[in-house]
């Protein structure tokens, strides 16, 4: 590859989620592998048997428009007449074998490492989400208990209702004045 290594983060930003798959587009892979996109696609067509549907697929016009809209670095695809190809992790690795250059091999290893790192981060996030869900359930039951305590305290704070009859020794004179 080049003398300055490409950071994993730079590759990770180019991995897109299309059709429920994490993929990289042919233009991004061509840039990483140091070849023109047209040359990359020609190499794929010459070796099409190495790229089954779970390794590579072509974007629809709608998918292409969505990618161009959401990814600034792919703005030049807007004017392309051909629909781009999307490569899964396995397809990107296979590209390194098909292109057979030193840079392509290094780039394919970098891409695979990036996919693996993303998968590890995703599993960490799933574990964290599960722990948060358990915590929310615990807190939910605590909320009900706290609400019950607050209701009991409010009941204790309200003064008891006064009886109409005064307490103590009352004469008929004072009892008549009290009723008025």
- Report helix, strand or coil for 166: coil
What pLDDT shows up at residue 2? 45
Whether 71 maps to a domain, the answer reads yes
Q: How confident is the model at residue 87 (pLDDT cuts 50, 70, 90)?
A: very high
Q: 141, 33, 168: which is closest to 87 by C-alpha?
A: 33
What separation, in Å, do the N-terminal and C-terminal C-alpha atoms of the chain show?
A: 102
Whether 81 maps to a domain, the answer reads yes
What total of structural domains would you count in the chain? 1
pLDDT of 104 strictly over 90 = no
Whether 14 maps to a domain, the answer reads yes
Whether 50 maps to a domain, the answer reads yes
Whether 172 maps to a domain, the answer reads no
What pLDDT shows up at residue 5? 55
Q: What is the DSSP letter of 180?
A: -
Whether 134 maps to a domain, the answer reads no
Q: How confident is the model at residue 1 (pLDDT cuts 50, 70, 90)?
A: very low
Whether 88 maps to a domain, the answer reads yes
What single string gives the DSSP state of each residue in 65-109?
Answer: HHHHHH-GGGGGGGG-SSPPEEE-HHHHHHHHHHH--HHHHHHHH
User: Taking the model in full, what pTM does it have?
Assistant: 0.58
| Averaged pLDDT score across all residues of the chain | 78
CB-CB neighbours of 18 under 10 Å: 18
Q: Quickly tell me which residue has 């009892």 as its tokens.
A: 175
Give the burial string for 113-136 (b: 16+ CB within 10 Å, else e). ebbeebeeeeeeeeeeeeeeeeee
Whether 45 maps to a domain, the answer reads yes
24-68 per-position pLDDT tens digit: 899 888 888 888 989 999 999 999 999 999 999 999 999 988 888
What pLDDT shows up at residue 58? 92
CATH of residue 91: 3.10.260
pLDDT of 138 strictly over 80 = no
Q: Please give the residue range of the domain that contains residue 48.
A: 8-124
């Amino acid at each position: 590859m080049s003398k300055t290594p490409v950071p994993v983060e730079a590759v990770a930003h180019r991995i897109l989620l299309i059709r429920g798959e994490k993929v990289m587009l042919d233009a991004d892979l061509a840039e990483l592998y140091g070849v023109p996109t047209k040359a990359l696609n020609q190499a794929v067509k010459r070796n099409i048997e190495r790229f089954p549907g779970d390794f590579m697929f072509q974007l629809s016009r709608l998918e292409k428009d969505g990618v161009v809209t959401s990814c600034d670095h792919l703005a030049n695809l807007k004017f392309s007449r051909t629909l781009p190809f999307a490569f899964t992790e396995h397809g990107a690795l296979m590209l390194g074998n098909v292109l057979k250059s030193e840079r392509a091999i290094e780039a394919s290893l970098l891409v695979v490492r990036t996919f693996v790192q993303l998968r590890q981060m995703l599993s960490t996030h799933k574990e964290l989400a599960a722990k948060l869900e358990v915590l929310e359930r615990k807190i939910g039951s605590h909320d009900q208990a706290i609400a019950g305590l607050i209701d009991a305290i409010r009941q204790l704070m309200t003064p008891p209702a006064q009886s109409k009859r005064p307490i103590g020794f009352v004469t008929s004179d004072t009892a008549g004045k009290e009723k008025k």
